[in-house]
Amino acid sequence: MSVLADKNSRVLIQGITGTQAAFHVKRSIETGTNVVAGTSPNHGGEEHLGVSVFNNVYEATRRFSFDASVLFVPAMAVKNAVREAVEAEIGLIISIAAGVPVHDMLEIRNMLKGSKTLMIGPNTPGVITPKEARLGIFPDNIHKKGSIGIISRSSTLTYEAVLQTNAAGLGQSTVIGLGDDLIIGTDFRELMRRFMEDDETKAIVLVGKADNSYEQQAAEYYAALPHKKPVIAFVAGEALPFGHTMGYATDIITRGRITVSDKKKILRDAGIYVADQMPDVSKILTDLKL
């Protein structure tokens, strides 16, 4: 099985005619992703990359049904693109663009409340289920079909986590980039729940970082679970100088009192394995004898 996307997922690409979209969507199609259609204003009725193009999501959903939409649109256009997908009740949105305005993300979070849509991103490499579906910009050649779920707040460290699960000989069930921006569509908890329910996922790797309180929320969620799979966490940023703050919301609210070391302790106290260095991830996975 997989989480969020598999070979049967029907995918829409919003902004399909853009240069970056053309490069990455072509690669996704070649690796087997079921891209059904795309949207691009003033390009309705055309064909691009072998699929039909519509002017907007409403027009596309009158012709096809979709399980997921990947947004290859500029940061300033993300809010409207999300609104279209939410109104069409598409179950999954993946937003690639970095730097979506904070005010827009607050509005987007309100759109998502009570909707049928889960949002990954913004500023994410996307979601990949190896050999089945590539929704975004992941380098598919490093991924191996396997049994470890990965959820990451750091795009670049996601790739390192993938390599560590490969080194342990376990591969990945699904890899999810939560998004690097300060405000994102969802947090660790909902995705942890889905991996916990996935029969083929044997363990989960979480990659966190210094901003926000997502790791604390994940620890509280995990500690309360009656039945759970092993979770290994790595939190980036511990090497920052003492007293250094990044200007993130958590730094401002806590005046820098919640450090990476604090987060690691909270995770350990919840029963989560914590890797002090990224290579420790493969060692912990190997020791677990999954």
User: Residue 56 has what pLDDT?
Assistant: 98
* Helix (H/G/I), strand (E/B), else coil: 71: strand
pLDDT for residue 211: 74
3-state class of 2 per DSSP? coil
Cα distance between residue 148 and residue 193, in whole Å: 14
> Which residue in the block uniquely carries the two structure tokens 């970095």?
98
The pLDDT of residue 242 is 44
Question: What's 82-119 look like in SS3?
Answer: HHHHHHCCCCEEEECCCCCCHHHHHHHHHHHCCCCCEE
Structure tokens at 59: 């027009």
* pTM beyond cutoff 0.85: yes
Structural domains of the chain, ranges and CATH numbers in brackets: 1-123 (3.40.50.720), 144-290 (3.40.50.261)
Q: Exposed e or buried b for every residue in 64-87, given b needs 16+ CB within 10 A?
A: eebbbbbbbbebebbbebbebbbe
Q: How many residues does the chain have?
A: 290
Q: What is the pLDDT along the chain (290 residues), one digit of tens a residue?
A: 689 999 999 999 999 999 999 999 999 999 999 999 999 999 999 999 999 999 999 999 999 999 999 999 999 999 999 999 999 999 999 999 999 999 999 999 999 999 999 999 999 999 999 999 999 999 999 999 999 999 999 999 999 999 999 999 999 999 999 999 989 999 999 999 999 999 999 999 999 988 778 999 999 999 999 999 999 999 998 655 444 444 444 444 444 557 889 999 999 999 999 999 999 999 999 999 99
pLDDT at 2: 80
Rounded distance between C-alpha atoms, residue 191 and residue 92, angstroms: 12
Cis peptide before 122 (omega within 30 of 0): yes
Residues 28-42: b if buried by 16+ CB within 10 A, e if exposed? bbebebbbbbbbbee
